[in-house]
Amino acid sequence: MSLDPSYLEYPHRKRGYDHDLYPWSNLHERPPVTWPGGKSVAVWVCIDLEWFPITPEDKPFRAPGHMQTPYPDYRHYTSREYGTRVGFYRLLDALAKAGVKASVAANSAIAERYPEVIADIMAAGHEIIAHSTDMNGTIATGLDEADERALIQSSLDALERASGTRPRGWLSIARSQSWNTPRLLKEAGLDYCCDWVNDELPWRFNNGLINLPLNHELSDRQIITVQQHSAESYAQQMTDAFDWLEREAKESGSGRMLPLNVTPYILGLPYRIDAFDRLIADLAARQESWFATGSQIVDAWQEAPASSG
Amino acid sequence: MLQTAPEGDPGLYDFSPYRDRPRVVWPDGKTVAVWVAPNLEYYEIDPPANPHRKSWTKPHPDVVGYGHRDHSNRVSHWRMAEAMSRHGFPGSVSLSIALCQHHPEVVADANERGWEFFSHGIYNTRYSYGMDEAQERRIIEDSIRTVRDATGQTIRGWLAPALTHTPRTLDLIAEYGLDYTCDLYHDDQVQPVKTRTGRLASIPYSLEVNDHYGFFVYNMSPREYADALIRQYERLAVEGEKSGTVMCIPLHAYLIGQPHRIAAFEGVLEHIAADGRAWISRAGDIVDAWRAQQTGDAA
């Protein structure tokens, strides 16, 4: 038994990455980033607002949170709808009470089906990030390039029609991209995507597109749904993260960012929402927090010398 | 020639129950040797397929899988390393050898902190399954040569890439003069391993308290994981009064160095450093101290 000789050949074994999507850089050695008002930690709330067709297509894969039982899966279809009808409004109320702005990563199906939700988001002053078409709109290598381009266009167009503003940011379903995605997003005129979780501050692809990292490890999906922790534990973990980042910002003299990626049908349940309410109120009251939308963070970062690297 | 495993026993060691063992004593009368094993890794974005195991579960690029590991080499390595240095813990690095080429800055940082390196294969996306002997020799020789060129150190240990072994791995690393393996999880003390030639010791790598196990096998919160490490430490410190025990803390910066986890972990380092019963050391030093106390065949 032996392996094909090519298995012991390493054509990309060289300085830097084994791809040319973006350059390597050490967060701790970059020029400092400054947030408005000299705050230490940008807190970015990003709510995933999703519509799951009851007919999953699995092309190219089934999204997390999608249907699980044989057709018709009323259980999961309606539980996800609960998030949009009820849970999302609890999240909006928590943000309003604390007086903070957030990003909403919305499927364009939300805009087409429930334009009143989009109107409520815009009226509250939040930002809309494009989050594909609906939860069948998954992307991975193998998806035809023309289909992927059309999916991106149709998402942006529908969200712009409903909101009056063309989204500047993009979040793929499950953060899953194909080899073509960074190029297609740039071609579509987007400023930034949120899919790459390799950093804690924005960075730039070689093609000029910006990545604003939406850390999946800090998401309610990862902590509550995957790791099965309580909402109270989730809130404590976010507070611990904020405290650490605040300390690191002070010691390094450079701003840090805490992304809170939350899901209406996860944190928006009656027995969990109080923990989120308290977390947002607590963080908003901190001297060193700057609550901001994705675009505001990207814009502030672009002002800093670090953004050229 | 491949070894066989008659009656299902791979023949790695003699059975030795946890009773009446010869006393192992650590320097200055410490009862538990504590070593921290950061895995400094490189995962390829588009690796070739190994017929026996898939690298990524998704079509390439697996953006979250790759990006999560990349977090180590951009952000969390330094966060983790600084916390270790603040409390006097050196690392014994489980190294994806190709990191020496891709991100020499990370390897240089570890070397400057006085950390030790052992091989964790060329990439954590190239598995040993299916290799013939000549191929396996090539990755061992590559490991020895590359780490020597990059750091001046000669590796002494091995943790198989992504824990993929062949039945000849342990014989081969012993033949090349490596003297410890981190791949065997049968004990809380250093133990001799049977090899064709050379002298190989098994140092406990404490896989069950690996941060990956803590967070993704047992689903612990950051504070629960910290509590588990302290309980592991407290028990081994007591048992080590009879004969010196070993506690390893196997880490991945992209897990332990996340902002919601690092403070709780730093509390563990603080606890162990302040306790007084821990010999805070490196893998090679622990194997040396154990070896010096052996008699008979193991001496």
- Concatenate the DSSP letters of all residues of B96-107 into one string: -TTHHHH-HHHH
Which among B54, B62, B64, B262 is the top mutation candidate for probing chain A, defined by the most A β-carbons within 10 Å of its own β-carbon? B64
Residue B286: partners with Cβ closer than 8 Å, 6 or more residues away: B33, B35, B190, B203, B246, B279
Please name which of B16, B1, B8, B4 lies closest in space to residue B193, comparing C-alpha atoms. B16
Residues of chain A where predicted confidence (pLDDT) is lower than 70: 305-309
Q: Which of B45, B98, B132 sits opposite A19 (nearest CB)?
A: B45
Q: Which of B50, B70, B104 sits opposite A7 (nearest CB)?
A: B50
Q: Does A197 touch chain B (CB under 8 A)?
A: yes
Supply angle C-alpha B191, B194, B195, rounded to 5: 130
Please name which of B76, B152, B81, B73 lies closest in space to residue B105, comparing C-alpha atoms. B73
Which among B221, B225, B261, B262 is the top mutation candidate for probing chain A, defined by the most A β-carbons within 10 Å of its own β-carbon? B221
Which among A219, A244, A256 is the top mutation candidate for probing chain B, defined by the most B β-carbons within 10 Å of its own β-carbon? A244
Contact A8 B139 (CB under 8 A): yes
> pLDDT value at position B297?
73
Calpha distance A172→A105 (Å, rounded) = 9
Helices A115-123 & A145-163 angle (0-180, nearest 10): 60
Calpha distance B237→B143 (Å, rounded) = 34
Contact A14 B48 (CB under 8 A): no
Supply angle C-alpha B243, B248, B249, rounded to 5: 150
> pLDDT value at position B6?
75
Q: How many CB atoms lie within 10 A of CB A247?
A: 15
Q: Please name the residue ranges forming H helices in chain A.
A: 74-82, 88-98, 108-113, 115-123, 145-163, 181-187, 220, 231-252, 264-267, 270-285, 294-303
Tell me the C-alpha to C-alpha distance, in Å, between residue B188 and each of A123, B15, B263. 61, 14, 27
Question: Are A200 and A215 contacting, i.e. CB atoms less than 8 angstroms apart?
Answer: yes
Residue B243: partners with Cβ closer than 8 Å, 6 or more residues away: B21, B22, B23, B24, B189
Q: What are the 10-residue block averages of pLDDT along chain B, 299 residues in total?
A: 72 96 97 98 97 94 98 98 98 98 98 98 97 98 98 98 96 98 98 97 97 98 98 98 98 98 98 98 98 85
The DSSP string of B160-210 is -GGG---TTHHHHHHHTT--EES---S-SS-EEE--SSS-EEEPP--GGG-
> pLDDT value at position B1?
39
DSSP code at position B217 = I
Q: Which of A3, A24, A228 sits opposite B103 (nearest CB)?
A: A24
Cβ-Cβ contacts under 8 Å, A3 against chain B: 50-51, 130-132, 135
Q: Which of B50, B74, B261 sits opposite A198 (nearest CB)?
A: B74
Contact A237 B70 (CB under 8 A): no
> Burial level of A246, CB count in 10 A (0-12/13-18/19+)?
buried
Tell me the C-alpha to C-alpha distance, in Å, between residue A86 and each of A80, A92, A261, A274. 10, 10, 18, 14
Please name which of A129, A120, A118, A117 lies closest in space to residue A45, comparing C-alpha atoms. A129
> pLDDT value at position B174?
98
Contact A217 B68 (CB under 8 A): yes
DSSP code at position B53 = B
Element spanning A60, H or E? none
Please name which of A134, A194, A199, A197 lies closest in space to residue A170, comparing C-alpha atoms. A194
Question: Are A41 and A290 contacting, i.e. CB atoms less than 8 angstroms apart?
Answer: yes
Contact B75 A199 (CB under 8 A): yes
N-to-C CA span, chain A: 47
How many residues would you count in chain A?
309
* Residue B183 C-alpha from the chain's centroid: 8
Contact B223 A179 (CB under 8 A): no
Prior bond of B192 cis (ω within 30°): no
Which among B256, B260, B262 is the top mutation candidate for probing chain A, defined by the most A β-carbons within 10 Å of its own β-carbon? B260
> Burial level of B137, CB count in 10 A (0-12/13-18/19+)?
middle
pTM (2 d.p.): 0.97
Cβ-Cβ contacts under 8 Å, A28 against chain B: 75, 78
Q: Which A residues, 9 through 48, put their C-beta within 8 Å of a C-beta on chain B?
A: 10, 12-19, 24-28
Q: Which of B67, B98, B221 sits opposite A197 (nearest CB)?
A: B67
Contact B258 A14 (CB under 8 A): no
Q: Map tokens 């070894």 to a residue.
A: B3
The residue of chain B with its CA nearest to that of A248 is B79
- Interface ipTM: 0.97
The residue of chain A with its CA nearest to that of B66 is A198
> pLDDT value at position B106?
98
Q: Map tokens 């400092």 to a residue.
A: A32
Contact A16 B44 (CB under 8 A): no
φ/ψ (deg, to 5) at B266: -60, -30
Calpha distance B128→B26 (Å, rounded) = 35
Radius of gyration over every alpha carbon of chain A, rounded to an integer in angstroms? 20
Question: Are A270 and A264 contacting, i.e. CB atoms less than 8 angstroms apart?
Answer: no
Q: How many CB atoms lie within 10 A of CB B163?
A: 15
